[in-house]
Amino acid sequence: MTDREAGTLTVKGFLELKNEVIDIDLCTRCGGCASVCPVNVIAMTKNGPSLVGDCIKCGNCLRVCPGPGTDMAGFERKLFGGKGRRTFLSLNGRCIGREHLMASDKEVFRKGYFGGRVSAVLIGALERGDIDCALLTDWSDGKGLSMGQGKLARNREEVLSLAGSKYVFSDVLTLLSDVRDDPTVKRAAVVCLPCQVQAIRKMEGDPALKGLVSKVRYIISLNCGAPMVDEAEWGRIIEDLTGVGAEDINAFRAYKTSSKKIMFEVKVGTEWKRFELPIYRYLLRVKSAVKWHRCTMCSDYAGELSDITFGAPLVRTKRGKELLDRAVAEGRLKRPGLKRRVFQDLMDTYWAMRKKRTAKATIRKRRKKGLKIPFVH
């Protein structure tokens, strides 16, 4: 297998990462390259990674980057060794269990976007001492509208303050080196998007880099239809929904206030303005947004290499099972009604199918034209 087939590149430094990934829009702003750089010369900006010092050409950034693609079948074999059944039409990878669940605690349920399940399992793991912290994502104040910002949560309040989906890229993987170097952390959970799961698995499989993720006990993936990326489009959407002119928006954040309402906070100058809106209007606008170039060629909807994916919790590994079983045994999660179960099933099937089809068609077209495509198996 060539380096290209393995989803890595044969070249070695930041210049090549820039040429082969960033400048041709294959970067998913996952933050992986910044976390593995031994001389800390990669900074995450709203336009992707930027070189802020001298590159020593170690090649780490290229080896973990999910942008050029990932040998999904190879990693699957290594991780699951043929164990676990395939999900319906293999749309969402391999699993050893799938259940419909929602948070039992009303506050957790209200703050989460799809039942607060992620927050519920994290609060459980923190309170039991299974983990010392979770690597989560906040809206960013200063990195632009299209970037989320990684943040550590160590208790229920911090988990709840970061609950809810931020439909933007997140640099959460940049926190991996902080966690590695923090003597108060022995075990951690990471919540991330499928391409970020791929980057973590590449780190785990790399003898020079596995130390960086040795404290990561649980890799939790969110389903990913694709984030919002275009700064100008984001501005237009916020303008449509709030009436604040796109050119006046300095920062933005949103959080749920009830099961049907969402609070938009828009920073104009130094002042935050607040608008409460029906959540469906926001979700419909986000779904119809233009997709990032790399995302149109991504077929991993459900974090197929994770320990556990939300969607309907899809348990893939023993660790994922342990995390979910404990939360259920403690009564933190319960089975929702039929309507919610059917809705989740439809979402998990329809969006996964659509994402895989789009990726296949885009890749076929680009291949015909001789354009760059990520490695696909």
Whether 273 and 45 have beta carbons less than 8 Å apart is answered as: no
Q: Residue 70 binds what, of ligand SF4, ligand FAD, none (CB under 5 to 8 Å, by partner type)?
A: none
Q: Which two tokens stand for residue 247?
A: 């050119």
Angle between helices 318-329 and 117-128 (to 10 degrees): 90
Closest CA to 366 of 297, 288, 278: 297
Q: How far is the CB of 367 from ligand FAD (least distance, A)?
A: 26
Which of the choices ligand FAD, ligand SF4, none does residue 163 contact, using the CB cut-off of 5 to 8 A by kind?
A: ligand FAD
Minimum distance, C-beta of residue 248 to ligand SF4, in the bound complex (Å): 28
* Shortest Cβ 207–ligand FAD spacing (Å): 27
**C-alpha span between 189 and 192 (Å, rounded):** 10
Q: Which residues of 169-203 are buried (b: 16+ CB within 10 A; e: fewer)?
A: bbbbbbbbbebbeeeebebbbbbbbbbbbbbbbbb
CB of 16 to ligand SF4, least distance (A): 8
Q: Cβ closer to ligand SF4: 119 or 146? A: 146
- C-beta neighbour count of 363 within 10 angstroms: 18
The partner in contact with residue 311, picked from ligand SF4, ligand FAD, none with C-beta cut-offs of 5 to 8 angstroms by kind, is ligand FAD
Contact of residue 31 among ligand SF4, ligand FAD, none (CB under 5-8 Å per partner type): ligand SF4
CB of 302 to ligand FAD, least distance (A): 9
DSSP 8-state symbol, 18:
I
**Quick one: 103 or 312, whose CB is closer to ligand SF4?**
312
Q: Which residue, 126 or 222, is less far from ligand SF4 as judged by CB?
A: 222
C-alpha closest to that of 40 among 51, 29, 25: 51
Strands 147-153 and 169-170: parallel
Q: What single-letter DSSP state applies at residue 288?
A: T
Smallest gap, in angstroms, from Cβ of residue 163 to ligand FAD? 4
d(CA 255, CA 239): 17
- CB closer to ligand SF4, 31 vs 320: 31
In the complex, the smallest distance separating the C-beta of residue 345 from ligand SF4, rounded to whole angstroms, is 21
Partner from ligand SF4, ligand FAD, none binding residue 219, C-beta < 5-8 Å depending on class: none
Closer of 309 and 344 to ligand SF4 (Cβ): 309
Binding residues vs ligand FAD (CB under 6 A): 112-119, 136-137, 148, 162-168, 170, 172, 191-193, 222-225, 227, 310-311, 347, 351
What is the gyration radius of the CA atoms in the chain, in angstroms?
Answer: 20
DSSP code per residue over 305-371 = TSSEEETTTEE-SHHHHHHHHHHHHTTSEE---HHHHHHHHHHHHHHHHHHHHHHHHHHHHHHHTT-
Residues that bind ligand SF4 (CB under 6 A): 13-14, 17, 21-22, 27-33, 36-37, 39, 41-42, 48-49, 55-61, 64-67, 193-195, 199, 224, 226-227, 294-295, 298, 300
Structure tokens at 38: 């031994």
294 makes contact, choosing from ligand FAD, ligand SF4, none, with CB < 5 to 8 Å by partner type, with ligand SF4
